[in-house]
Structure 1
Amino acid sequence: MSDGSTPADVLQALHARLQAVADAVGMPTGHPDGALPPAGDGTTRPADDAFVVAPASPERVGDLLAHLVDRARSHPDASMTWLLLVALTGAFPTSEEVLDARRRLVADTPGASARWLLTTALALATVTDCLAGIDIVHDGVVVDVDFSARHDLNTGIQRVVRSTVPRWAREHELTLVAWTGTGAMRRLDDAETSRVLRWRGPIGVQPLTARPRVVVVPWRSTVVLPEVPAPHLCLPLAALAQHSGNAVSLVGYDAIPVVSADLMPPAEPERFVRYLTVVKHARRVAAISASAAEEFRGFVDMLPAQGLTGPGVAACDLPVDVPARLPDAVTPEDGLPQVVVVGSHEPRKNHLTVLHAAEVLWREGHRFRLRFIGGSSWASRPFDRAVRTLASRGRPVEVGRAVGDDALWSAYRTARFTVFPSVHEGYGLPVAESLAVGTPAITSNFGSTREIGQDGGTLLVDPRDDDAVTDAMRRLLVDDALHARLVEEARSRRRRTWDDYARDSWAALVAGDVPSTATTDEDTP
Structure 2
Amino acid sequence: MNSVPPPSTDQTTPRRSEVDDWLISLTPTTESLQPEDIMSSVSWRVTVPLRTLRLRERVRAARSGTLVLDRSGHAAGSALKRARRALHSRLTEVAPVLLPSRAATGFSSVSLEELIELLTAAVCSSPNKADLWLLMIAVSGCFPDQAQLLGLWRDLRGVAGRDASMRILHHCGVWTARHHSRMRSMTLVTDQPVIFVDSTCRSGSVSAIARITRGLATEWKKVEPVTVAALDSDGVALRALGSAERKRVFAWNQGMIAERSDDQESAAAPSLVVPWNTTVVLPETPSGLGAETLAALARFSNNRTVALVYDLIPSISGHLVDRETSLRFVNYLSMLKHFDLAIAVSESAHTAFSEYSAELATQGLVGPRIGSAQLPLTRLGASLGDDSKQKPGLSPTTAPEPDDSPSRAENLPLVLTVGSNEYRRNQLTVIFAAEVLWREGKRFRLRIMGGEGDAEYSAVRDAVATLSAAGREIELSTDVTDDELALAYDAARFTVYVPLHDGAPLVLAESLAWRTPAVTTNYGSTADLAAAGGCLVVDPHSDDEVIAAVRTLLNDEELSLLHREIDERPARTWADFCSDVRTALTDESAVAR
For residues 564 and 265 of structure 2, the distance between their equivalents in structure 1, rounded to whole angstroms, comes to 53
**8 Å contact from structure 2 (residues 241, 266) kept in 1:** no
1:187 equivalent in structure 2: 240
Q: Is 2:196 aligned against 1:144?
A: yes
Q: Is 2:565 aligned against 1:508?
A: no
Alignment-mate amino acid for residue 151 of structure 1: S
2:137 equivalent in structure 1: 86
Could you tell me the TM-score, scaled by structure 1's length? 0.87
1:48 equivalent in structure 2: none
Deviates more, 1:144-153 or 1:301-310: 144-153
**8 Å contact from structure 1 (residues 134, 214) kept in 2:** yes
**8 Å contact from structure 1 (residues 69, 105) kept in 2:** no
1:325 equivalent in structure 2: 383
Deviates more, 1:353-362 or 1:379-388: 379-388
Q: Is 2:337 aligned against 1:267?
A: no
For residues 457 and 28 of structure 1, the distance between their equivalents in structure 2, rounded to whole angstroms, comes to 62
How far is the alpha carbon of 1:212 from its aligned partner? Answer: 8.1
Q: Is 2:489 aligned against 1:432?
A: no
Q: Is 2:345 aligned against 1:255?
A: no
For residues 482 and 271 of structure 1, the distance between their equivalents in structure 2, rounded to whole angstroms, comes to 44
2:558 equivalent in structure 1: 482
Q: Is 2:429 aligned against 1:353?
A: yes
Q: Is 2:443 aligned against 1:367?
A: yes
Alignment-mate amino acid for residue 136 of structure 2: L
Q: Is 2:475 aligned against 1:398?
A: yes
Q: Is 2:464 aligned against 1:387?
A: yes
Flag structure 1 segments of 5+ consecutive residues without an equivalent. Answer: 38-53
Match of 1:12 among 70, 74, 85: 85
Alignment-mate amino acid for residue 138 of structure 1: T
Deviation readout 1:377-417 (Å, 9 max, x if unpaired): 32531222222232232222111113222221222222222
Deviates more, 1:230-239 or 1:150-159: 150-159
Larger Rg: 2
How far is the alpha carbon of 1:372 from its aligned partner? Answer: 0.8
Q: Is 2:359 aligned against 1:302?
A: yes
Deviates more, 1:241-250 or 1:149-158: 149-158
Deviates more, 1:406-415 or 1:84-93: 406-415
Match of 1:95 among 135, 138, 146: 146
2:53 equivalent in structure 1: none
Distance 1:111 1:251, change over 3 A: same
For residues 156 and 399 of structure 1, the distance between their equivalents in structure 2, rounded to whole angstroms, comes to 20
For residues 367 and 96 of structure 2, the distance between their equivalents in structure 1, rounded to whole angstroms, comes to 32
2:63 equivalent in structure 1: none
How far is the alpha carbon of 1:437 from its aligned partner? Answer: 2.0
How far is the alpha carbon of 1:365 from its aligned partner? Answer: 1.9
1:460 equivalent in structure 2: 537
How far is the alpha carbon of 1:348 from its aligned partner? Answer: 1.0
Distance 1:15 1:411, change over 3 A: closer
How far is the alpha carbon of 1:310 from its aligned partner? Answer: 1.1
**8 Å contact from structure 1 (residues 82, 93) kept in 2:** yes
For residues 15 and 406 of structure 1, the distance between their equivalents in structure 2, rounded to whole angstroms, comes to 51
Deviates more, 1:388-397 or 1:1-10: 1-10
For residues 269 and 324 of structure 2, the distance between their equivalents in structure 1, rounded to whole angstroms, comes to 35
Match of 1:25 among 75, 80, 98: 98
Q: Is 2:253 aligned against 1:176?
A: no
Deviates more, 1:327-336 or 1:339-348: 327-336
For residues 151 and 359 of structure 2, the distance between their equivalents in structure 1, rounded to whole angstroms, comes to 27
How far is the alpha carbon of 1:423 from its aligned partner? Answer: 1.3
Deviation readout 1:193-224 (Å, 9 max, x if unpaired): 22222223445567858978432221111111
Deviates more, 1:403-412 or 1:264-273: 403-412
Distance 1:180 1:299, change over 3 A: same
For residues 220 and 283 of structure 1, the distance between their equivalents in structure 2, rounded to whole angstroms, comes to 13
**8 Å contact from structure 1 (residues 138, 219) kept in 2:** yes
Deviates more, 1:210-219 or 1:495-504: 210-219
Distance 1:98 1:362, change over 3 A: same
Q: Helix, strand or coil for the counterpart of 1:521?
A: coil
For residues 333 and 448 of structure 1, the distance between their equivalents in structure 2, rounded to whole angstroms, comes to 38
Alignment-mate amino acid for residue 19 of structure 1: T
How far is the alpha carbon of 1:295 from its aligned partner? Answer: 2.0
Q: Is 2:170 aligned against 1:119?
A: yes
1:200 equivalent in structure 2: 253
For residues 83 and 312 of structure 1, the distance between their equivalents in structure 2, rounded to whole angstroms, comes to 25
Q: Helix, strand or coil for the counterpart of 2:434?
A: helix
**8 Å contact from structure 1 (residues 436, 491) kept in 2:** no
**8 Å contact from structure 1 (residues 139, 222) kept in 2:** no
**8 Å contact from structure 1 (residues 82, 244) kept in 2:** yes
For residues 174 and 428 of structure 2, the distance between their equivalents in structure 1, rounded to whole angstroms, comes to 56
For residues 495 and 570 of structure 2, the distance between their equivalents in structure 1, rounded to whole angstroms, comes to 20
Deviation readout 1:1-34 (Å, 9 max, x if unpaired): 56965223322322332233221123445799xx
How far is the alpha carbon of 1:505 from its aligned partner? Answer: 1.2
1:289 equivalent in structure 2: 346
Deviates more, 1:273-282 or 1:192-201: 192-201
**8 Å contact from structure 1 (residues 440, 486) kept in 2:** yes
Deviation readout 1:343-380 (Å, 9 max, x if unpaired): 11211111111122122212222222111111333253
Deviates more, 1:82-91 or 1:396-405: 396-405
Flag structure 2 segments of 5+ consecutive residues without an equivalent. Answer: 1-26, 29-74, 398-406
**8 Å contact from structure 2 (residues 190, 277) kept in 1:** yes
How far is the alpha carbon of 1:167 from its aligned partner? Answer: 1.7
For residues 521 and 448 of structure 2, the distance between their equivalents in structure 1, rounded to whole angstroms, comes to 18
**8 Å contact from structure 1 (residues 72, 105) kept in 2:** no
Q: Helix, strand or coil for the counterpart of 1:251?
A: strand
Deviates more, 1:106-115 or 1:334-343: 106-115
For residues 299 and 217 of structure 2, the distance between their equivalents in structure 1, rounded to whole angstroms, comes to 25
Match of 1:129 among 176, 181, 185: 181
Match of 2:290 among 233, 239, 251: 233
**8 Å contact from structure 1 (residues 231, 274) kept in 2:** no
1:336 equivalent in structure 2: 412
**8 Å contact from structure 2 (residues 448, 475) kept in 1:** yes
Deviates more, 1:131-140 or 1:325-334: 325-334
For residues 66 and 36 of structure 1, the distance between their equivalents in structure 2, rounded to whole angstroms, comes to 13
Could you tell me the TM-score, scaled by structure 2's length? 0.77
For residues 401 and 170 of structure 1, the distance between their equivalents in structure 2, rounded to whole angstroms, comes to 33
For residues 31 and 15 of structure 1, the distance between their equivalents in structure 2, rounded to whole angstroms, comes to 18
Q: Helix, strand or coil for the counterpart of 1:459?
A: strand
Deviates more, 1:304-313 or 1:359-368: 359-368
Alignment-mate amino acid for residue 330 of structure 2: V
Q: Helix, strand or coil for the counterpart of 1:419?
A: strand
Q: Helix, strand or coil for the counterpart of 2:157?
A: helix
Alignment-mate amino acid for residue 136 of structure 1: L
For residues 147 and 132 of structure 1, the distance between their equivalents in structure 2, rounded to whole angstroms, comes to 22
Deviates more, 1:85-94 or 1:325-334: 325-334
